[in-house]
A and B are shown apart, each in its own frame.
Chain A
């Protein structure tokens, strides 16, 4: 039995109830949104201690709204709803999000949620990589009140993050797009229903002088315990002309910021090689999107 200690599957109707349940069961509670990650853990037999599944689908956390030029995405908004949102689908700034969502099959698009794939805290997921590059932040609610955490500071390790056991993500905030900014995302996979061997997202702003500014490069997949911000690559880019030579230089620098792993899916050397190629390709795509 995969959940030998399970007591109940709860479907709280309010945030308050959800937080109370989290408070009651603490570390032995598992939140369920789309359920795909939870199931993945369950079948691997690592949820032996779990006593409560708490379904947060009825908390009214789904939906996308504008707020002072930002987009606020409810935590249980699923991938399909994000794909279908006109502002996200059309803006070059958000293109990395749309790129990331071209990969999962319909069965995951329909149920996977933005909050769920972030809370999972495993760099194998694609959307958080893209969101990190867009400087997204998370609104967190719980027993100790509300707070907002930058996504780049959320992950603390594999399957680990800054959430207290009585907290949950309620919203994901996408900051307003800076002018002349585009993003792009790529994933290395073996077939079209795969977890990332490597994934990578960039955000590129080109200033009035034609130079890269405030660039973001994030890398995921088997390159460390959580997504890596490629600060070396960013440093090479910022202030440099937005052109292929700069992108080549950035792609050489990016490997300083990752610790790729050797496993049955790929060697560390191959992962590092792909990260370089994808850095270049994503930057070129982003530049192209700026027209």
Chain B
């Protein structure tokens, strides 16, 4: 009888890992062939549940790498991306980072997308004392307190006291200010932190919490849950969900004709093109957390040119067609790296961390500094409202007016419309 030994299994695993690995290829094949490059290593979700944003992130990195190499590289050296598919499986991440640092011996490591994948990489990078620039983590460094961790995300240091502030500020602007709130959150770290922030700030502002529950990511039908929320008669509803759940929740709300004054919160999904194409008018008047909207108040230098380039390639690369969510930040993350290396003039992990702590960065998503814990020193949680949405045509999301910014005040581009529901 043929048997598979542990060694055979190890070989198969290695073969599978190699098959899933890549250097900058596909749309930018020439980059991989340059001599003595600066090698930037990372794991990325190219398959599995987070692959949608993972592949969009990778495309943004590749655009940046191509541009940098066209300009002659950094410190006179071209850059090369060395990446492996983490398959959205946290258990694979430590092995990938060990390989990147000990076998591939890359010069710099950046993170996978997002919190659940970043956390398992932390012990590996901390053991080797390398600077770790992460993308869209949420409070990962609260537990590790690693002084070489830097996170490209707008949520900032103190998520509990800041995340839902904009949402509740908007609720206070209703003609009859909201008095009750319902909170529904998926059982994952980011959503639970978002719900905790909403709970904390709602109590602080005297809002009555009439429904406060979590749901498992495996939930298929949200009709009974939304019906129970509806039965509690809240003025506003804060939901923290991930893409597959956000679909079910919005469909259920539509089928039940649920029209509270404000509906939305921290739903991940409505930021993405596929979602916007599918849901069309169901998104109308949804008030939701976001990171970018093509409003005049966010027209940072370089962002429009980047998006034009991204959108040209997105169809071929089968990633998010609009690139209004993570791609500008992924590109900005690499700009941070480029600016640091250019300033310090060498690849030195200690000097990189010191520079990131000390400097202000100017990127296509604006200027910012990192705090002592490596988060954005000034949080910038956007709350946008989908307005006048009557169909799933994506063109409108390339222009101002479809996703109006209601908070924060300094980026505000329009006024709240209530209640939630399809446009007349």
Determine if chain A interacts with chain B.
Answer: no
